[in-house]
Amino acid sequence: MNPAVDPTLHLRPMQAPDLDAVMACERANYEFPWQEEVFVECLRVGYNCWVAELGRVVVAHGVMSVGADECHILNLCVHPHFQRLGFGRRLLRRLLGLARRRGADTAFLEVRVSNQGARGLYAAEGFCEIGTRRGYYPARNGREDAVVLALAL
């Protein structure tokens, strides 16, 4: 995957035409990706759905709900070819900034116990572990636990 002419990372709201690229990113990252219908529904109900583009290539996406003074990061995904370049951090910070502007005072998310890269990013951004959801994620040999994280905004 080669970024198109402009190498500048651009963050913008996700649109329906982005879903092919978003789904390609999901499938490249996860054995059990979100289904496209989930993204369609998130867009329909007005969740904060964003993409990060490098040139004209979608390299990351995120989905967040905001309500009742809190936000929930539901999905944050960076294509494997573009991980560890700060794109996930920039997208996370954009989502958290949007949540603050909408009056949220706490951010929550779940992350696979095995996803050390994401857990490192969230810890570096100030998230703290507040619990575990047993068997939360599908896994090849059954289910995998999720670590529940929170951040005071």
Residues involved in catalysis: 110, 122
Largest CA distance in the chain: 45
- The secondary structure of residue 85, as a DSSP letter, is S
Q: How many CB atoms lie within 10 A of CB 47?
A: 20
